[in-house]
Amino acid sequence: MTDTTFNSEINKIECLLNGFAMKLTRNKENAKDLMQETLMRSFASRNRFKEGTNFKAWVTTIMYNSYINHYRRAKTKNAVIKPIEDLSYLPGNTSTEMNGEKIILLKELKGMVNNLSDTYKIPFEMFTEGYHYNEIAEKMDLPMGTVKSRIFYARKKLSSMVGRRYDVSTLMAA
């Protein structure tokens, strides 16, 4: 595809592309960025476009894939994995020092985890150590749905144990 042909085709669908970018991003500035990235990518790979096929579908697919790639990068960029021993994320916890109450609370929580049966404890501990569901499923030779279910029920059991052991307002103040 020549440069002039590409430009004329883009001009025909530019309004549609802007609307699609707004629909995806729901933000004017992000839509402009997505539009620019789409135009750059489609222009760079214009020689891959097959004459006689749907140009609009080709460009919107590039836009959609660019949006998904950006979304995935942003999602993993902001992901923070905290081990179970780190209680700094609890509300009201402004220090990172371990005082006596926190040490006792941590030991009790570890004891509660150890009270779980191995069926629930092992996948839960692996998950808190940073393993992904598929890695846990592979190591334990289980279906991924079973691993997810066991981790869910481990959390539910731990929540119940904590609820029976502590008053929730006391736990949040610690």
Proportion of the chain above pLDDT 70, given as a percent: 83
Residue 116 in tokens = 């779980």
Q: Which of 47, 78, 109 is the last residue of a domain?
A: 78
- How many domains would you assign to the chain? 2
Looking at residue 71, its pLDDT comes to 84
CA dihedral angle for residue 132, residue 136, residue 139, residue 141, rounded to 10 degrees = -130
Looking at the fold, whether 24 and 69 belong to one and the same domain comes out as: yes
Looking at the fold, whether 113 and 68 belong to one and the same domain comes out as: no
The answer to whether position 48 is within a domain reads yes
Q: For 97-112, what is each residue's pLDDT tens digit?
A: 667 777 877 788 888 8
- The type of residue at 51 is E
Looking at the fold, whether 11 and 72 belong to one and the same domain comes out as: yes
Looking at the fold, whether 17 and 74 belong to one and the same domain comes out as: yes
What is the phi/psi pair of residue 131, to 5°?
-70, 145
60 close to 84: Cβ distance less than 8 angstroms: no
Looking at the fold, whether 104 and 74 belong to one and the same domain comes out as: no
Query: How far is residue 41 CA from its own chain's centroid?
Result: 25
The answer to whether position 134 is within a domain reads yes
Rounded Cα–Cα distance for residues 21 and 159 (Å):
42
Rounded Cα–Cα distance for residues 131 and 142 (Å):
14
- The type of residue at 25 is T
The answer to whether position 84 is within a domain reads no
Looking at residue 74, its pLDDT comes to 79
Looking at the fold, whether 109 and 65 belong to one and the same domain comes out as: no
Looking at the fold, whether 9 and 71 belong to one and the same domain comes out as: yes
What is the phi/psi pair of residue 27, to 5°?
-155, 130
The CATH number given to whatever domain includes residue 134 is 1.10.10.10
The CATH number given to whatever domain includes residue 67 is 1.10.1740.10
The closest alpha carbon to 158, from 123, 109, 118, belongs to 109
Rounded Cα–Cα distance for residues 88 and 91 (Å):
8
* DSSP 8-state class, residue 116: S
The answer to whether position 63 is within a domain reads yes
Between residues 41 and 107, the one the model is more confident about: 41
Looking at residue 86, its pLDDT comes to 57
The answer to whether position 65 is within a domain reads yes
Average model confidence (pLDDT) for the chain?
84
Q: For 56-67, what is each residue's pLDDT tens digit?
A: 999 999 999 999
The answer to whether position 147 is within a domain reads yes
The closest alpha carbon to 154, from 174, 124, 118, 114, belongs to 124
Looking at residue 53, its pLDDT comes to 92
Q: Which of 78, 110, 128 is the last residue of a domain?
A: 78
58 close to 9: Cβ distance less than 8 angstroms: no
Residue 36 in tokens = 């620019």
Domain of 13, in residue numbers: 3-78
Looking at residue 43, its pLDDT comes to 94
The answer to whether position 87 is within a domain reads no
The answer to whether position 93 is within a domain reads no
Looking at residue 85, its pLDDT comes to 59
Q: Which of 13, 48, 78 is the last residue of a domain?
A: 78
Between residues 48 and 173, the one the model is more confident about: 48
